[in-house]
Structure 1
């Protein structure tokens, strides 16, 4: 390891925004600098909901230009990570067959029903390891094949969103394993297309390119793009092309027995395992199995994150009550503890708008103290999220037989120190918080691994711990929080009986 810093670019596309980050690594520490940020809104056109891929590729090019400005930044490589499940189709001449469809499209429910007529839910879960949900690629792809059968010629290929960006950067077609593992089209826990499932659904096998592992160098930035962007050559690398896979790689875990929470608007909570969990209990509890950059499996559940708080904040701003997130946390900390709870994942909270009133209504309907002040509502949300995380930890122990000794939390939720402390209190295990920018950090470090500058995932995680100084929250008031959890469980059982 030397002292001369080398530079890479990480393009991280979320379902609401994207950014390009420049990573600099001196052999010991990684530093990140955001060079370009942009929004990512879907476009409704007729009865279809689409991603605006052309604009998103334009923003990627803008990020490359900004990231390579100045002689000090010779960029060695670039890698793209995105959300999962969505894809584009490319014809034999390399043209995009149309803008990629959005996972929230209403038509996906119809195609999920169609697939489940052919392969029932339990069998589909045991074959693929992926929890059947209407957003899944397997349902979307069957819809595309049925709706446009005449256009699905033998030379057409399906590329997941990150793979689509990589193709137009490098000219190389491949599907990276971690993002393909979100599709429901692989053998459970394996980097192999599930030909049996694909055949039963009548999806042409010719659609599927070769699978590559994280850290694969796909090629070079094309000559045309180098000329257009006035940049030197750089390698195009498949990293953990699914954003959660890159985020998980950046968790500074020194102990293998940990749970992780990638916490933002939504929260992904799970564990790393050698093999998927495919039994009926894990399916009924809502766990899915996806690939990691080290060839393991992340068994996880999609839980609520800071959505309720974000929506309350938006509503208060519309009512001209302006609070920073820091002010909201201080108001919550000053409010009385354990007055009321909600189930953050309840369907009543899915839609945007007037969230605070809905929380009050739910507390009233369940016979609890109704939170009237801003601080009381925020405290209700944060305590409820912590109790939801405790419930997920218990469920992970139930399906795996092991209770994690520590929780690593990454993502934007790390900024909410009260949530981190509440989670430690509720779970009864330490919470190690950070890095916030785990996805971009993991993306960069996996490029450095491909370059041979780090040799293993263990080294990557050591660099993370040295670079971002994660903070540890030790459990407090555990008896009081156990009582709160008992109340929370009874409340959920009562709600389940009502349904």
Structure 2
């Protein structure tokens, strides 16, 4: 049995997973978990690469000492963020975080310079302030020394592939989150970058998932002594979608974590007026597919609420918060979860209350009421994306598959079924690591393609199902969310 290591880096935590396939089922063992967070340095929110590299190395060291043979390793991570490398291979500085306020101003500057339509038409990517292209716009105008010192840009997962193997490319699905790749061709949108003044010498070669980029470095002497580095779908959502056990063709997927990425798999990019009108994005998928989707703020709302309540002395777990929310009446107040009011770290309960007050709704006053407002709003946000995809493709997905950490959230899963009117299947929770590992195993000859991978996932995962209930007026609530979102406008939504 082949064995691989999947390094899965999320925006709040990471894990190093040992994975194998016995011909029927996946065997997944989490060797190392760790938490991490960005920190402010020189006035900019940055990722702590020292901590990340130390923890990844610790996980790989555990695998090295664990016996057996690990055939390959690959890294997936969140999208949009990037590292800059000097010509001598050293990093220019710590990578900046997409939640830094600089991105908001940079998006306005870029749109003022070339127009929102020109940006979307060149790439087919949802306009969001978090996009790489707006980070580079900020670098160009506010921190020109960063770009002047840089010889190459690589996306975050490929920063680690470089550190682990020396690879200087960037994987396709990660590159597709930049807002700088033409999703119709898979090539860099050099005309757009030139119009914005971003130097194209920074752009790396785009490589496909499943590519062997070299031997693992690091002096490992046992299980990892002959390990290769095989690039998975390096955007974590792309890896997660590989491991979605679609029970109905054309089903909607929700990769649910800090962000919720809500979409469908298609065979080609949709870069047209209908997709642009509802701000859908085209992101790269495994096996020549496109993920037609929209980013929704996701569990970030609850994560930031929990941090604030903890600062105020209430040490609440997510399960306790969910039970308090479950006891509250539904759809009393809703917020646009994609408003930039909620993009940056901070006092999220207060922001939710202020949003409700500003929009003339009842203001939630308790932990349970605030959490219920956030959870209802996420379910409505998912419905809104479902409606947008249905309008653009002409086909309504028959079901919803939720994977990732959010698949554990029973209240949100049930409310998603209620809001969409569709059956919801939840699991696997470790879809990202499974998809990462599965693509490595496919490159090693264990799978013939994504159909075989998904059949194996379905046989290996414990799935939970929810059916829609007719308990609230979701149609009226969806109309309210439309009104709120339209009022927020382009610069007031993430």
Question: Normalising by the residue count of structure 1, what TM-score does the alignment of the two structures yield?
Answer: 0.88
Give 3-state SS (helix, strand or coil) of 1:459's partner.
helix
Instruction: Give the 3 Å change call, closer, same or farther, for CA 366–33 of structure 1 in structure 2.
Output: same
Question: Paired residues, what number?
Answer: 487
1:395 aligns with 388
What does 1:393-432 align with in structure 2 at a 5 Å threshold? 393-432=386-425
Q: CA deviation at 1:350?
A: 4.2
Taking a change above 3 Å as real, the CA distance of residues 75 and 145 of structure 1, as seen in their structure-2 partners, is: same
Q: Secondary structure at the match of 1:394?
A: helix
Post-superposition Cα deviations, 1:315-356, rounded to whole Å, max 9, x if no partner, equal 444454454433333344344444443433344444555544
Partner residue, 2:220? 226
8 Å contact kept, 2:69–2:223: no
8 Å contact 2:254–2:403 — kept in the other structure? yes
Tell me the alpha carbon deviations over residues 3-46 of structure 1, each in whole angstroms, 9 at most, x when there is no partner.
xx432111111222222111122121112222222233223222
1:282: which partner in 2?
275
Name the SS for the 2:128 alignment partner.
coil
Please give the residue correspondences for 1:219-298 in structure 2 after superposition, counting only pairs within 5 Å. Answer: 219-222=214-217, 225-226=219-220, 231-298=224-291
Are 2:450 and 1:457 equivalent residues in the alignment?
yes
Q: Evaluate the alpha carbon distance shift between residue 142 and residue 376 of structure 1 in structure 2; reply closer, same or farther with a 3 A threshold.
A: closer
Shift of 1:486: 1.3
> Which stretch of the first structure deviates more once superposed, 238-247 or 345-354?
345-354
Aligned-pair distance for 1:199?
4.0
Structure 2 partner of 1:45 = 41
Task: Report if aligned partners of 1:145, 1:152 keep a CA contact under 8 Å in 2.
Answer: no
Alignment CA distance shift 1:495-1:78 (3 Å) = closer
Residues 492 and 116 (structure 1 numbering): CA distance in 2 closer, same or farther, change over 3 Å? closer
Q: Secondary structure at the match of 2:288?
A: coil
* Alignment deviations for residues 53-97 of structure 1 (CA, whole Å, 9 cap, x no partner): 2332222211110122232x3111100011112222333332323
Give the 3 Å change call, closer, same or farther, for CA 400–236 of structure 1 in structure 2. same
Q: Distance in 1 between matches of 2:355 and 2:98?
A: 29
Partner-residue secondary structure (3-state), 2:293: strand
> Which blocks of at least 5 consecutive residues in structure 1 are unaligned?
none
CA positional deviation for 1:207: 2.6
Deviations 1:389-428 (A, max 9, x none): 2122111111222111111111111111121111111111
Bigger drift between 283-292 and 47-56 goes to: 47-56
Following superposition, the deviation at residue 264 of structure 1 comes to: 1.9
The residue matched to 1:98 in structure 2 has which SS? coil
CA contact (8 A) 1:189 1:291 kept: no
1:131 is displaced (CA, Å) by 2.3
CA pair 352-485 structure 1, distance change in 2 beyond 3 A: farther
Q: CA deviation at 1:357?
A: 5.2
1:167 aligns with 2:134: no
Secondary structure at 1:386 match in 2: helix
Give the match for residue 306 of structure 1: 299
- Equivalent residues in 2 for 1:64-463 (5 A)? 64-71=60-67, 73-109=68-104, 111-144=106-139, 147-148=144-145, 151=148, 156-222=151-217, 225-226=219-220, 231-352=224-345, 355-356=348-349, 359=352, 363=356, 371=364, 374-463=367-456
State whether residues 182 and 189 of structure 2, in contact with CA within 8 Å, keep that contact through their aligned partners in structure 1: yes
Indicate if the aligned counterparts of 2:305 and 2:349 stay in contact, CA closer than 8 A.
yes
- Say if 1:189 and 1:296, in contact at 8 Å, map to a contact too: no
**Mean CA deviation greater in 98-107 or 299-308:** 98-107
The aligned counterpart of 1:30 is 26
> 1:17 touches 1:38 (CA, 8 Å); kept in 2?
yes
Kept in 2: contact 1:189–1:297 (CA 8 A): no
CA distance in 1 between counterparts of 2:277 and 2:454 reads 33
Deviation of 1:459 (Å):
0.8
RMSD value, Cα? 2.9
- Structure with max Cα Rg: 1
Q: Deviations over 1:237-262 (max 9, x none)?
A: 11100111101111001433111111
